[in-house]
Structure 1
């Protein structure tokens, strides 16, 4: 759970999400910077993690399907979710672990292809399919309804592309229903919050995504802004509306599981991962290959937001994107670095390829 390992003598044990960082971080670095050598240097470590995840998934399995459900030895589950307590978060571990296992298989297959390891590419893709089949059989009714419903339980398979056809529509509808039943609030923990807006906007629920983004009562991102937060908090309710710090019950009258253990940090980035959605969907900027050699700009407009501006530094130079809506027209400016190309998809679905240079385009919104 911590690299480099320090402070304890426990044996190394693979666990989901936190452990999956051994794959997610090098992959993110590759997409941002294009450094294939990072993937090569970390590849053996990634494979050891995947081998451990597979071993723990088969541990004490009593059926062929169970061999692909990752329960052991320990998962944080739906950690720091605004509903339930520590014990409830941990109980969600097998849903979270199995979904993250499938996602890491997909990334490993892509990495193996980039590095030229064709056998590994096929192995991880086949393993992913077995995990997805197990997830569907064990956790759902086979048609898109979870046997135990919670928001992260729907978010992960949707965002990790583990669903298809009618099943996808059902899961999306159930996710929206759970959000609406909670007064248009999210109830996701660390493992689901980074992906909930993607799960909505990428499956036909863009306005619902914006409604969630712009929610300003607790739990929400804008609640923290309204409360004066200048950093992201560990818990959505770390500061109460009256300005007092919510440290839980530290009197000793309740267990840590019941009180949250006084778990309060005002500089705890996890829920700030919403920034990924702000860049990739609101602004529309997303790499299509390592180092933004090819990239996409496809803003998804909504929520009565009329402009967005952002940039990122790539190995080829800076990419700048600015768009605004005015008088029924969509105006976008994109700076494309030398030696790169951009796939621009406008809100009216018109698509074009932009080569290096400064581009200034106007189109009717729809």
Structure 2
């Protein structure tokens, strides 16, 4: 057989166990080398492994294969099914059936949540973090097995107000970290499901929870506050055992459970963790353990209506990084260098040294004057410590994470062996989907740095930074970065869940908080109005997910949220769209020209930025309404877009297209958001190029303008200027940080000054992905692979080569399979190789100005002569926003 179908995927789930959908959508990918192959029909089979019943669709004539509606009966709670598919091309014979995919629903009926939330009775210990608690309970299944037969399967479902590690019969359950993560706790508390059939006993069993503050009760934000969600942590655990007769035995947290302090004497995400290994409770999570000296738990109220199944994979270890060197600081401190700014924690082989010896590990991203650079961390002490008990063991702090490259080690007994320390990289366990590479080593390193910054900040919540006392899900950062993120990793599930939190935390008037999940981390800060660019995450992120993953469902789900945001912005704009109410606004945050202590002081007034972004959201709403078949809404938002564009033209541009406040952002937003009349566009492009030249070919924009600069230059025939800007190595530029040794994207263009000193401002991070939004341009225009239709059902291949590069490549695992665009340039000869996935097509634009070529699935090669000026004009013909 020359074509086969991969196993079906269920919604956006990587692991469809305990899912929250009663009619989950299905997708599949066909692998074949047959040129031009396209699906003509499919057949789905759904089997019930308990009853043996089969449901088949029969042959369905359809080319659709991404997020198809569930073709079977609606699923109840705890339902299990196996799904497989076969497909037909133009030939009469189908493919073989795919390997079956097993799925299982969670508890869709809230009445099935029978366990109780329980809290430990523990005293607080101080301002550096509270102790973690051990909670345990015993469950004996002997009688149930005798009455109902052997155990067929067992599922453990759990969540917490706080973060926890689960234990069953002496075994840690799963490989998840910081479970259940951070969500809008009062409205959406995620529970996860584990298959524990293999570690459950038919007789006595012991369940255990190691519970710490996490985001729920720990320090949060930048004002030194803690306990913002509540003053008491709690765990909820439910064990469900299916017997041979079809009945269930249930157990879990209730008033019989007991708790006590464990070896973790201090646990906080910002502050770090302290562990006294002398206090280890051996066997505490095993049957028969004597817990008579432990304290009874307190039962807490928990509304089962807030419990939701997760959309995303859990946070897990994704890489183990060895140390590359050891340094002695000027003060004599021992510093360990891991060679990469990363996010996670240490795994340490502790020596068998004298009991009572304390080893301290302090983390930081950079060095300052040869010492650990902790000033940018502000109040996040990022310090872990362990007290030895005299035995050699492997130790890893389980209730914290740090952003770091360097670790200062104090108190190590004897000589430190670097092999004793490893860095555990943590983030949401997403699948890597896209890559980019090119002949320019620094440009390739820039892209690698973007990847590391995404990994570090996509840890359950898409955060601004992972190291200092902040780590919040700032909406503006993600709004800018979402297109890059959706290419690099399959973040569809994670961002679907985050958008649900956004909708849950959205204010009744439609205003979107500036970070999600929302909690007031600084009551002294005056309330913000509808914040342009930040709140626009409500429209931009769902549209990006639709564009990249072909998911109209996310648009339908978020429609009310999207409408609410645009209504909030309209109220702030006023009847004449003048944004005359004033007040503070972030605007083009961290414009390269802004003073270090005034990151909001951009060259373009925030009112102009707000007008442009309101227009962009109106256009997204227009296009979303078209996708969803809302004709009246489509017309209404089309009218709003035109009003916004007219307002921008009248207030912020002259009739010729000159900006009233000349800046790179002013021209880029006007060009990319379609705010100018055709007769203004070319002149505006020339003025943008002139502005870049006037700025010394340095970047001159902030968070909201930067993602659009390169595209705006190319779109208006100024590719040569774009290349000088993109390959600039002096500050401010993308490659300046690369030249200074950066291994992630910096928050500021000058987070590290040319003399190697740290930026003097009070807000300096070395791991922020916002300016890494340029990766989307690298993928689409340098490598040349862009979506031409939702989910890359059609690709638009339009690289913008330059004589400064000899080759570049973009490749992406799309919802239809692997697509790639790879080009070489040698002595004026341009060669392009394109891989088009089955069931898709591609529109290819060559840099010689010839007419685009449409090709079907398969490998294709093209060649043409290359001239820099002709290529710049050719690049103008390709335009996608």
**TM-score (norm. length: structure 2):** 0.38
Name 2:855's counterpart in structure 1. 354
Partner Cα distance (1:328, 1:172) in 2: 27
In the TM superposition, residue 4 of structure 1 has moved relative to its aligned partner by 2.2
Name 1:75's counterpart in structure 2. 585
Matches for 1:104-253 after TM superposition, within 5 Å? 104-248=617-761
Partner Cα distance (1:148, 1:226) in 2: 32
Cα displacement string for residues 6-36 of structure 1 (whole angstroms, at most 9, x for unaligned residues)? 2357878421111101111111111111011
Partner Cα distance (2:846, 2:692) in 1: 29
Please give the root-mean-square deviation of Cα atoms over the aligned residues, in Å.
1.9
In the TM superposition, residue 165 of structure 1 has moved relative to its aligned partner by 2.8
Cα displacement string for residues 173-206 of structure 1 (whole angstroms, at most 9, x for unaligned residues)? 2222222222111210111011001111110100
Partner Cα distance (1:71, 1:159) in 2: 27
Name the CA shift for 1:302/1:146 in 2 (closer, same or farther; >3 Å). same
Name 1:17's counterpart in structure 2. 533
Partner Cα distance (2:830, 2:840) in 1: 24
Partner Cα distance (2:760, 2:545) in 1: 36
Runs of 5+ consecutive residues of structure 1 not aligned to the other structure: 249-261
Give yes or no for contact 1:15–1:74 (8 Å, CA) kept in 2: no
Cα displacement string for residues 133-188 of structure 1 (whole angstroms, at most 9, x for unaligned residues)? 11111222332122222221111111111112331122222222222222111210
Partner Cα distance (1:189, 1:174) in 2: 19
More helix by share: 1
Name the CA shift for 1:12/1:280 in 2 (closer, same or farther; >3 Å). same
Partner Cα distance (2:833, 2:692) in 1: 35
**TM-score (norm. length: structure 1):** 0.90
Name 2:791's counterpart in structure 1. 291
More strand by share: 2
> Is the partner of 2:566 in helix, strand or coil?
helix
In the TM superposition, residue 349 of structure 1 has moved relative to its aligned partner by 2.7
Structure ranking higher on relative contact order (CA contacts 8 Å, 6+ apart): 1
> Is the partner of 1:55 in helix, strand or coil?
helix
Partner Cα distance (1:327, 1:83) in 2: 39
Count of residue pairs the alignment pairs up:
347
Name 1:314's counterpart in structure 2. 814
Name the CA shift for 1:91/1:297 in 2 (closer, same or farther; >3 Å). closer
Name the CA shift for 1:3/1:303 in 2 (closer, same or farther; >3 Å). farther
Partner Cα distance (1:56, 1:38) in 2: 27
Name the CA shift for 1:303/1:362 in 2 (closer, same or farther; >3 Å). closer
Give yes or no for contact 1:69–1:135 (8 Å, CA) kept in 2: no
Partner Cα distance (1:21, 1:346) in 2: 34
Name 1:36's counterpart in structure 2. 552
Question: Does residue 1:94 correspond to 2:607, yes or no?
Answer: yes
Partner Cα distance (1:98, 1:70) in 2: 11
Give yes or no for contact 2:529–2:572 (8 Å, CA) kept in 1: no
In the TM superposition, residue 323 of structure 1 has moved relative to its aligned partner by 0.7
Give yes or no for contact 2:796–2:844 (8 Å, CA) kept in 1: yes
In the TM superposition, residue 354 of structure 1 has moved relative to its aligned partner by 1.3
> Is the partner of 2:844 in helix, strand or coil?
strand
Give yes or no for contact 1:76–1:89 (8 Å, CA) kept in 2: no
> Is the partner of 1:299 in helix, strand or coil?
coil
Give yes or no for contact 2:784–2:810 (8 Å, CA) kept in 1: no
Give yes or no for contact 1:68–1:130 (8 Å, CA) kept in 2: no
Give yes or no for contact 2:573–2:580 (8 Å, CA) kept in 1: yes
Give yes or no for contact 1:233–1:267 (8 Å, CA) kept in 2: yes
Partner Cα distance (2:848, 2:714) in 1: 16
Runs of 5+ consecutive residues of structure 2 not aligned to the other structure: 1-513, 868-881
Name the CA shift for 1:329/1:340 in 2 (closer, same or farther; >3 Å). same
Name 2:778's counterpart in structure 1. 278
